[in-house]
Structure 1
Amino acid sequence: MTPLSESTFLLFGTGRRRSWIYRAGALWPLADQGHGFQWETVRESIDGGAARVELETRAGAQVVIHEDENGLWLDEGGAVRCLDDRPGGRWPGFEGHPHAGRLRQLHHEILVNLPCGAPLPNRLVYSKPWYRDSAMVAMVLEKTGNLGLIEDWVAGLREPFDRNNRGHRESDNLGQALYLISLVSDRGHPLVETILRTLPEHATDGHLTGLSDYAPHPVYQTKWLLFGLRALGLDDGDWRIPSQPDNYSALFWWDFRQQHVPGAGFDAASRVRYPYLGWAEDHFHGRPPPLDLLRMNAPLTWEAEASEADYSALAALDPGLEARRIALPHTWHAAEAFLYLHELESTFP
């Protein structure tokens, strides 16, 4: 499957570091495009799995831009400078894993989207975290020992809904917020009591109701609620997962797998625009990982034609991305791909 764009670039600046972008012979800080570095290049190599760019200039100089656990580095002909040595998180190498290179790159695409500890779907086109995406990102950070990067953000949560989809109070947010809290705190977090008081307003016949992504998804919403309550050791009472088709049910692949009524899956167009749906759905059903829903070049992940993304921010990076409404990379996509590939001990038969 051909991705929606051939644009190639690399984001740098994981964890607490300043964000930089490399593209087409230029490296600049995200917040100040006019103050960076530019080279006339005759050769360029971008290795997303190593967070590394190698250049050869017209003058024959060798330039390397490289990020690792210790910092972000610029090497111009052997003259090395550190652009940022603030904490960037833990960087497992996944040595011996059949998908080690992809895992490193997917992990990096998550770590570069945590400005001030707030997990953004894509820091170029989104300004606020989404609980749904953040919960999946947190699953990755837990596996890689990086929950500390978002601990302050979770500790500061006070609203039961992120209200990112046109202000809607999306019911799945309730369980996602509880789960996020469970990773770094306990039932004493001030948002927990607020969520428990809010639940009756969004309940029908023992399950959650309301909208998620502009549609009712009671199975998915209630699975998240039960998972969040149990993660905090809270009583799940009489909540029950309704027995009805819900295509979002297959997005919840790590628990409550038996509580699923088969129905229509995601169509091909949706899987391309929102590839996290395809990765999660295939994970749930035990299908081979959809490697065709990863780009061949950096970044690996994307989202397209999202209703709440501000694609105008891409104009300076690549006008083609703005025109086609494509954001690269995307953390929910990266998280779903990482979590599926990480559990595989061999390439899929």
Structure 2
Amino acid sequence: MVKYDYIIVGAGAAGLMMAYRMAKEPFFADKTILILDKEKKTQNDRTWCFWEQNKGEWDDILHHSWSKIYFTSDSYSSKKSISPYKYKMIKGDDFYKKTWKSLENKSNITFRKEPVSEILQEEKFATVITSKNTYFSKNILNSILFSDDYKKQSKYPALQQHFVGFFIKTKENHFDNSIATFMDFSVEQKENTRFMYVLPYKKNEALFEYTLFSADLLPYDEYKVGIEKYLLEKGITDYEIIEKEQGSIPMTSYEFWKKNSKNIINIGTSGGWSKASTGFTFKNIDKKTVELIHHLKQEKSLETFHQKTKFWLYDLLLLDILAKKNYLGASIFSKMFKNIAPQKIFKFLDEETTIVEEIQIFSKMQKRLFSKALIRRIF
């Protein structure tokens, strides 16, 4: 067996961001760090979006940003400024280029292209078994979701944010690239929570993403037809598809962190770092990696890192509602955006609000609906 001070399993957003932060931190300069994955990502395989106030750490690789958002449904529509926030977009290839570049001259950091089959907690350390080798360490940071146990259990709802996106280029200038369509619920709901998400980053280029918050994925053609129908309704007929993306993110309050141990911590989606009520992941990873760096420097047990908060319960109540009555999504989000300023919504979803602010927010939501969900969850 080969020993490293730290082993990062999985070189996606969470694994690479941890490696990037470790490379910048002098504490880890004399520590051996191994990154394992079946491939080294360099292509644009996904897009991450997040809101943020003022300048941020990732601004040098932003593909585009917006200071206004558009929300629409059958009952409510609005265009609103989100200042001092901006809604920011990063493409996968730019993120990979930035993070890999930060690692290339670090002699203490090694990447090996080896599929990982198993991670085991031993008495005093943990082991990682790959197709080629066995490694051991007292600090294993795993971002690979090896199990679908969260889908098999019944204690917590397990929805998905699932989507197909087309990057569209038109001959004419069709788009206002100063405003992002955050949620367009005008698409047929079909007893689900379905919306179109539109990010115009040029006057003639935009990402159109057909998105659902629901338990079951759709056949690919249903997403495709949904996008094509939407484009037709918007009078966009002369276009080319320059890129495509597809994804599915768990939306669940399942306690992934209970699988952490003294020497193994699950990070990213496999650690429950995706925001359960929205599926947004990048900004959570950004925050959590900073916190985990601090935790590692204190050399504490990895199983003590996660702390459950009141926001875990808030997310759970929404998921309980959508799991039972998935068609209510449009009305819930419509009331939220109608009655609450987007800045306050963002602050709440960033888990930065006070209890007074949260009471104000819930007073403007469907109180009876959420009260019933709370009572059911308690009893």
Question: What TM-score does the superposition give when structure 1 sets the normalisation length?
Answer: 0.24
Question: What TM-score does the superposition give when structure 2 sets the normalisation length?
Answer: 0.23
